[in-house]
Structure 1
């Protein structure tokens, strides 16, 4: 049986831990709020009405691909493309190809950043492995102009950050929705998490000028994971209605 991602791959390790995944989407939540194409998710109304639900929906597809057989993964990729095509047909215009690439680029960047924050630095080979997995996802979705490998991706990623982000009323509203659905304390944790994993361009546009309050706590958290203390921390900090779903993110 052939898997889309090899069972020994670093990508499986990254996407097999709930805390890593939560940091991936904390960062992506900040960056996507700045994306010039964020109005597409406002068109459907699903993102502002249920941002956490959208998070778990995206997680479901990403994990389905990472841990599935090649056949199952390709079916999931096709299903994602069909969902977006239906939205495009409803609106009467196409989502820009660069917007699709931006989302793919976020998954690559934050997968690497989250793992290096909570686990250990990745080698260039492992970073290339992360890129290759999402590159194949992009090809499966029919995306154009994807860099051929990780080294060619780096300058393109930087170019996208400079060209495709801006702070708008969508940004302000989306962060208001995050606060509404998370509550003040968890919302603050979201912001502090973003300060650690988001690129400088994102931090500048979001007016984050201070060092994250979580920075000195991360080493203690990593140490506590050896004794399963992270389970207790997540039990306290995470929204009750999502605890079961978050627990399922951990792959033994």
Structure 2
């Protein structure tokens, strides 16, 4: 059986641990809120009513693809495209291609930044590996103007950050919803976590300071993982509604 991502791939390491996936989620939550096409996610009403669930479903889809056979992954990608096509039909408009690319670019960026925060720096070859996986996802979705390599992607990613992000009423509302669904303490942790993985452009637009209160805690967290105590921290910090879903992320697929 041919796999979409080889078993020894660093991409499986990245998406096989719940804490890494949570930082991917945190970073994407910040950048999603700034995207000029975020109104599309408001169209169905699902994003403002359940912002964490909506964003987490995107992350779960990406992880499902990473750990699937080639056939199953392609089916998942096709289903994802069909869902968006239905939304387009209901709204009577087309989601811009750059908006699809932005979401893909988020998954690439935060896969790398989250892993490097919690584990170790990736080599250029490993970054290329990450890019190639999501490039194939994008190609299957029919996206155009995707750079062929990670190196070629870097300036394109930067251009997207400059052109496609803005602080708007949607940004303010989404962060208000994050706070409502997480509670004050967990929301504060989310913000501090976002500071550790988002690019400078996102920091500037959200008026984030460079320093995160979590910075000195990351080494301690790594130690807690070695002592198998990280579950305690997660149980304190994570909303109960999502604990089971997040725990499932630590189950490595063969």
Give me the TM-score of the superposition, normalised by structure 2. Answer: 0.98
Matches within 5 A, 1:1-252: 1-252=1-252
Deviation at 1:210, TM superposition (A): 4.8
CA distance in 2, matches of 1:22, 1:93: 32
CA distance in 1, matches of 2:156, 2:162: 10
CA distance in 2, matches of 1:225, 1:28: 24
Deviation at 1:56, TM superposition (A): 2.8
Runs of 4+ in 1 over 6 A off after TM superposition: none
How many residue pairs end up in the alignment? 252
CA distance in 1, matches of 2:165, 2:242: 30
Q: Deviations over 1:183-207 (max 9, x none)?
A: 0000001100111100000000001
Q: Which structure 1 residue ranges, 5 or more long, are not aligned?
A: none
Deviation at 1:249, TM superposition (A): 0.3
Aligned 8 A contact 2:14 2:21 in 1:
yes
Q: Which structure 2 residue ranges, 5 or more long, are not aligned?
A: none
Aligned 8 A contact 2:25 2:56 in 1:
no
CA distance in 2, matches of 1:210, 1:74: 39
CA distance in 1, matches of 2:31, 2:132: 22
Deviation at 1:162, TM superposition (A): 0.6
